[in-house]
Amino acid sequence: MALFQSGCLFRDWALASLDGIGRPYRIAYTSASFSSILAAVNAGLAVTALCHSVLPAGVRPLSLEEGFPPLPPTNITLHRRYPVSAVAECLAGYMRESFNTDTPLALIPTLGVTEVAA
């Protein structure tokens, strides 16, 4: 597993889910950097827990059929003061765009792995 540091909900959910089905695992890499976690996954060295909406090209979710449990859904909430400033509205738009949604920023975390070429 390549995971974010202790205290990350995705890390906690992934480990609790794997423990819950009795699947053995080893934490091979820990980092606070999204890019370095993805580098470990893309190199085929580990799997990680990410939201479907941020899975980059070449990375796919792992399924229960492959021995990986689903993770609980989560939400990101941006609290804004009214009247909403142009900067806050711009940030909200950027977040919606980044997570590929026009609706509230609901995220579904998943265990991800590099796509295996056929």
Q: What letter does residue 68 receive in the DSSP assignment?
A: -
For residue 63, pLDDT beyond 90: no
For residue 78, pLDDT beyond 80: no
CA atoms of 51 and 66, how far apart (whole Å): 18
Instruction: Note the pLDDT tens digit of each residue in 5-32.
Output: 999 888 999 999 999 999 999 999 999 9
> Looking at domain 2-73+108-114, which CATH architecture does it have?
3-Layer(aba) Sandwich (3.40)
Q: If you write DSSP's letter for every residue of 10-25 in order, what string do you get?
A: HHHHHHHHHHHTT---
- Domain positions in the chain are 2-73+108-114
